[in-house]
Structure 1
Amino acid sequence: MPGNTSPRQNRSVAAGAAVVLVGALTFGVVSMTGDRGDRDTARPAGASAGPSTKPPTSPSASPSASRSDETAQLPDMARREAADPRAKGRPDAPVVMIEYADFQCPFCGKFARDTEPELAGYIQDGTLRIEWRDFPIFGKESEAAARAGYAAGRQGRFWEFHDAAFAKDRKRNSGAFTEPKLVEMARRAGVPDLARFRADMNGREAAKAVQRDTDEGYDLGVPSTPAFIINKRPFLGAQPLGTFKAAIEKAR
């Protein structure tokens, strides 16, 4: 992909089907149709090679391959921390959606702009909680944006920063997520203390928080972004709204 500094990369052509991930600890694509990717795959520079970092191989491009593996489950990764600024919804909500995402991923942006707002009713009625996980796979600007999101969250403005960062698609590693641009996004997001924001963004705690999320994703075998876990059930890619609604209704 243009602008990707990762040594290994692969863009899927999955779209339009209910793509699920299979295996207790390994994500694998079990369906794909069409010719438009709905996810991005890469490995960050410096990430250790291993089974969990290998791009998935789709078994078939035919519509007949599209299916939903109702038995596929992962460990319960929900943190349910009441004070988590990168989560929204009640900590005791019966359904938790965990999202592994990169601020430079266009399909993460598509989910943020088009799909997530349509799930707001589930959050408001107490059914759904969404927990964000940083999974910066496209190089230094992805990592900087992830740390910036953490810094915004320290002042209670993560989701506002999230919306500003995903407001439009930006060319990857083109300077759109350099520190001055990230500070401007924070300003638009209403972060009150920009000096503190800069300090937090470049601080050790931000780096540790992002690394924690990234390690969690790779331990699970997340191959690409966006990736989701809904009550232990994994989904890969910016799926249609109906796919997420059906999964939430089933999980509730």
Structure 2
Amino acid sequence: MKKLGFRSHLQRAAKWVGFVLLSWLLVMGSYPALAEPISSQLEEQVLQIIRKHPEVILESVRTYQKQQQDQQRQAQQAFVDQMKTNPRAVIGQSPTIGAKAGKVVLVEFSDFQCPYCAAASATLKQFLAKHGDEVTLVYKHFPLTTIHAEAMPAAKAAWAAGQQGKFWEYHDALFTNQKQLGAAFYSQTAKTLGLDVQRFERDRSSKAAEAAIVQDLLLGEKLGVEGTPFFVMNGAVLAGSVELPELEATLEKVKG
């Protein structure tokens, strides 16, 4: 399972710590009226606080982590409830395959440059071949842009193919030829699939493509998705390159 890098988590925590320290400085009055340029003074104030009170950093990080965990739990519960009561709202405009009105909805967060996602894609094909009459697979984009340079361009290309009804064919081509990802491959694949290439190129560079992918990313972040692939099947969470027996066991559990 590919995960967001440590740097990303550190940056999020650092922002929170910086906010806490700045707030403390202002409240304590140790930063008079912000009259002088804040860069050098703030740096020195923060360094002094850290030297005298290193526990502030730890406490701030713990507070940040707890808030994040609480928010993720609430978002996950809301998502699970919505999957049960209004699955169409969860699906939205995302591409689907399998049962048209399945009682079981399997939401996948995936990255086209992630090798574990490619392996999971092959497993999902087997799963749907056996259970496609009762399970609806929903694809959500979650490109890990900090570690995969082609993840976002590939996601935009797949979205553009979807605008012409060929998302899943394009999806398969991307995962099958993962080492060839790049602008030339995206255009050639569109041509091979018989797409209107001019429209495809226009769509994949559009603001609409970016907005659709960012919407999926924001949903994934709210749910606490940190790596790919990540699955939610009627509320049951599965992470990593799952095997067929695990998917089938989960299916029986959520059906029961």
Q: Identify the TM-score tier after normalising by the shorter chain.
A: 0.5 to 0.7
Shift of 1:151: 0.3
2:212 corresponding residue in structure 1: 209
SS at match of 2:150: helix
Identical pairs, percent: 29
Cα shift readout 1:65-123 (whole Å, capped 9, x = no counterpart): xxxxxxx9672365537884611133431111100000000010001124433322311
Q: How far apart in 2 are the matches of 1:150 and 1:122?
A: 25
Q: Which amino acid aligns with 1:153?
A: G
The answer to whether structure 1 residue 196 and structure 2 residue 204 are counterparts is no
Q: Which residue of 1 aligns with 2:16?
A: none
Residue 140 of structure 1: how far off its partner (Å): 3.6
Aligned to 1:178: 182
Q: What's the TM-score, normalizing by structure 1? A: 0.66
CA–CA distance in structure 1, aligned partners of residues 217 and 92 of structure 2:
21
Asked if structure 1 preserves the Cα contact closer than 8 Å seen for 2:123 and 2:242, the reply is no
| Separation (CA, whole Å) in 1 of partners of 2:92 and 2:181 | 27
Conservation of the 8 A alpha-carbon contact between 2:98 and 2:128: no
8 Å CA contact retained: 2:123, 2:243: no
Moved more, 73-82 or 222-231: 73-82
> Which of 162, 177, 197 is the aligned partner of 2:171?
162
AA of the residue aligned to 2:213: V
State the AA in 2 paired with 1:128.
V
Distance 1:46 1:195, change over 3 A: farther
CA contact (8 A) 1:96 1:129 kept: yes
**Structure 2: distance between partners of 1:74 and 1:135:** 20
Task: Report SS of the residue matched to 1:113.
Answer: helix
Q: Which consecutive residues of structure 2, in runs of 5 or more, have no partner in the other structure?
A: 14-63, 66-75
Question: What amino acid sits opposite 1:132 in the alignment?
Answer: Y
Instruction: Supply the distance in 1 between the matched residues of 2:185 and 2:119 (Cα, whole angstroms).
Output: 21
The residue aligned with 1:49 is 12
Indicate the structure (1 or 2) with the bigger Cα radius of gyration.
2
Question: Could you tell me which residue of structure 2 aligns to residue 133 of structure 1?
Answer: 140
Q: 1:149 aligns with which of 141, 149, 158?
A: 158
The corresponding residue for 1:225 is: 228
Deviations for 1:29-67, whole angstroms, at most 9, x for unmatched residues?
xxxxxxxxxx11125998972578xxxxxxxxxxxxxxx
TM-score (norm 2): 0.65
Change (3 A) 1:74 1:240: farther
- The 1:84–1:117 alpha-carbon spacing in structure 2 relative to 1, beyond 3 Å, is farther
The alignment partner of 1:200 has SS state of helix
2:111 aligned residue (102, 113, 119) = 102
| Structure 2 residue 243 is matched with structure 1 residue 240 | yes
Letter in 2 for 1:182: Y
Q: Aligned partners of 2:184, 2:170: CA distance in 1, in Å?
A: 14
* Structure 1 Cα separation of the partners of residues 93 and 242 of structure 2: 26
Q: Per-residue CA shift, 1:182-238, capped at 9, x if unaligned? A: 1122233x2420110100000010000000001110111101000000001111101
Per mean C-alpha deviation after superposition, the further-off stretch among 110-119 and 194-203 is 110-119
Contact 1:134–1:210, Cα closer than 8 Å, also in 2:
yes
Specify the alignment match of 2:88 in structure 1. 80
Secondary structure at the residue paired with 1:80?
Answer: helix
Kindly tell me: are residues 109 and 95 of structure 1, through their superposed partners in 2, closer, same or farther at Cα, counting changes over 3 Å? same
Given that 2:154 and 2:181 are in contact with CA atoms closer than 8 Å, whether structure 1 keeps it comes out as yes
